Structure 1
Amino acid sequence: MRKIILAAAFATSALSLAACSESTEDAAGAAVEGAAADAEANLDEAGDAVAGAANEAGAEISGAVDAAGKATDEAGDKIEADVQDESVEEAAAD
């Protein structure tokens, strides 16, 4: 009789442990899914920030290149005007 009671207690304990483990496993799975979703959202935001910064930097570089080109053209017109003994406007028109 004693062995039957011990076997029943053991079986009950095993079933309780299995049920608890499944519940714990489900909770851990939900936590992992939540962490993965948070990580994905953070990466998306970081990617958007990097893309925005790259676009701004590209626009600033483009503006600097345009300004340098304009300054080079103006310097060339001044040199041509001095060499050909004409006004800057006449040199620019050539």
Structure 2
Amino acid sequence: MKTTTIFAIALGLGSLAACNNSPQEQTADNIEANAENVADNMEANAENTTDAMQANAENSADAVRNEGEQKADEVRNGADADGNSAN
């Protein structure tokens, strides 16, 4: 949303400024605005990717913890069932 707003403002300002510019200057301004838009999108995608990677890592870590707890509980319950419990 932020990127779209910034791009719209830049495009509007570019249109106003274009009234006094040569065709070469207009072309250069358009190239610059397009490059800025692409760069902003890249940054937004990187943020989204980082958030997704962090969420996946946290989910994987939780799964490993849960599996470890389950295996430890199985060992404890097995020891209790065969009478070899330390308690």
Structure 2, unpaired ranges of 5+? 1-20
- C-alpha distance in structure 2 between counterparts of 1:69 and 1:26, whole Å: 64
**What is the one-letter code of the residue matched to 1:81?**
D
Task: Detail structure 1 runs of 4+ shifted over 3 Å in the superposition.
Answer: none
- C-alpha distance in structure 2 between counterparts of 1:24 and 1:35, whole Å: 16
| 1:76 equivalent in structure 2 | 75
| 1:67 equivalent in structure 2 | 66
- Taking structure 1 as the reference length, the TM-score comes to 0.65
Structure 1, unpaired ranges of 5+? 1-21
Deviations 1:33-55 (A, max 9, x none): 00000000010000000000110
Distance apart, 1:82 and its partner CA: 2.1
| 1:30 equivalent in structure 2 | 29
- C-alpha distance in structure 1 between counterparts of 2:27 and 2:84, whole Å: 83
Deviations 1:46-65 (A, max 9, x none): 00000001101111110111
| 2:53 equivalent in structure 1 | 54
Larger Rg: 1
> Which of structures 1 and 2 has the larger relative contact order (alpha carbons within 8 angstroms, sep 6+)?
2
- Report the number of matched residues: 67
- Taking structure 2 as the reference length, the TM-score comes to 0.70
- C-alpha distance in structure 1 between counterparts of 2:35 and 2:22, whole Å: 20
